[in-house]
Structure 1
Amino acid sequence: MLNLVLFGPPGAGKGTQSQKLIDKYQLVHISTGDLFRAHIKNQTDLGKQVSQLIADGELVPDSITIAMLEEEVDRNKTAKGFIFDGFPRTVPQAEELDRFLESKGAKVNGVIALDVNQEELTRRIAERHKLNGRPDDDAEKLKKRIGEYFDKTIHVLPYYEAQGKLAKVNGIGEIEIIFNSLCEVIDSF
């Protein structure tokens, strides 16, 4: 089983690259953001709990995020592996993911950080907001989400670096070139 964590701030290209990686490696993509949006759209109990948090650009509490992620992994028992996108965002979440996967006889094989500067992130998200109208992509919420990443989430990288599982890939350039770089890294795991 191949389990990957794809890291990067909002707009780094995680969703775009994840789809290509899913096709190549037959992995299940678990994006906590997508799961949250689906729960909100379907007005589930979870969706109602997290709706305001996401709308304000806040992080959802670990307990809710972890329970939702575990439910999604358990729903895909025959998966060849997973791409975790948007999770973990904190060291306690990373530790919990390790414990959960270990209980399934699995592990995080590798962590890939897409490196994209703030100017490019802002440009990409403004374009995405025009095309998709995602409420979490407006300028103020975006600034808060990017700030959350650089203030809090990025601190998870040393946790994986200490385990020898971290690789960084330049996330600026042509989609295919970035994808080929990702595949080289994944094949080395």
Structure 2
Amino acid sequence: MRIVLVGPPGAGKGTQATRLAEKLRIPHISTGDLFRANISRQTDLGKLAKSYMDAGNLVPDEVTIAMAKDRMEQPDAVDGFLLDGFPRNVQQAEALDALLKSEDIKLDAVLDLEVPEEEVVKRIAGRRICRNDSSHVFHESYSAPKQAGVCDTCGGELYQRDDDSEDTVRTRLEVYHTQTEPIIDYYKAQGLVVTISSLGPVDEITRRALEALKREDATQ
């Protein structure tokens, strides 16, 4: 299957992308991984992207699209892929359509992870990270430490990252609504969108997604 995964920040896209890609036996292609891989390998695209990033500018769509094209042409993606973080706007979605059409392939589904805005704020703003080890993550509501502000594992101080503050989360949501959410309507016009709730246990969300994709695949 060829799938695009969309949803607001805090919807659990990264977790579900990894799990779904494994279950469906297709590569998980994330924008973040593409950038890191190209920059670390010092490819021409990586050097170009880094030049924009070092200058504090957004990487142009055409560079992101070129990276995605290169990755989708790798042998492990011949029979399918799951795109996570791309496309981010309608212009990228149109470019992806043109790219796929030139290769005589098409998307099978656009999986939309739906979650209420206040739940997104609660999920992200409640996170606390250990200053000694960033892999020690707690949550004020879902996995609170035994002692407030103290890491259960090493006793380090727990803190809230700047980009996890409520104001920042709401700004990120506004950017999502303005830039990324319109691609849902774009793909709905093509009959590709499958929407599921991203509330509940991780395993249940994965099961929900697989069932929805199976139904979508059966109608193709």
For this structure pair, what is the TM-score category when the shorter chain's length is used for normalisation? 0.7 to 0.9
Contact 1:40–1:51 (CA<8 Å) still a contact in 2? no
Which amino acid in 1 is paired with 2:12? G
Contact 1:110–1:165 (CA<8 Å) still a contact in 2? yes
Alignment deviations for residues 31-61 of structure 1 (CA, whole Å, 9 cap, x no partner):
11232344556674145235358xx7x8532
Alignment deviations for residues 104-153 of structure 1 (CA, whole Å, 9 cap, x no partner):
221111101101122222333346672559x8944365443322111121
Report the counterpart of residue 174 of structure 1 in structure 2: 201
> What residue ranges of structure 1 are gaps of 5+ in the alignment?
none
- Secondary structure, aligned partner of 1:83: strand
Query: Deviation above 6 Å: which 4+ runs of structure 1?
Result: none
Structure 1 residues 60, 119: CA separation in 2 closer, same or farther (over 3 Å shift)?
A: farther
Alignment of 1:120-139 (within 5 A): 120-126=119-125, 130=129, 131=134, 137-139=163-165
Which amino acid in 2 is paired with 1:48? K
Structure 1 position 101, deviation (Å): 1.3
- What TM-score results when the alignment is normalised by the length of structure 1? 0.83
Q: Is 1:96 the counterpart of 2:127 in the alignment? A: no
Question: Does 158-167 or 116-125 show the bigger shift?
Answer: 116-125
> What residue ranges of structure 2 are gaps of 5+ in the alignment?
138-160
Percent identity of paired positions between Structure 1 and Structure 2: 41
Q: Compare CA radii of gyration and give the structure with the larger one.
A: 2
Q: Is 1:80 the counterpart of 2:79 in the alignment? A: yes
For the aligned residue pairs, the C-alpha RMSD in angstroms reads 2.8
Structure 1 position 80, deviation (Å): 2.5
Higher helix share: 1
Question: Does 171-180 or 39-48 show the bigger shift?
Answer: 39-48
Which amino acid in 1 is paired with 2:89? T
Q: Is 1:118 the counterpart of 2:117 in the alignment? A: yes
Report the counterpart of residue 47 of structure 2 in structure 1: 45
Which amino acid in 2 is paired with 1:27? I
- What TM-score results when the alignment is normalised by the length of structure 2? 0.72
Structure 1 residues 26, 74: CA separation in 2 closer, same or farther (over 3 Å shift)?
A: same
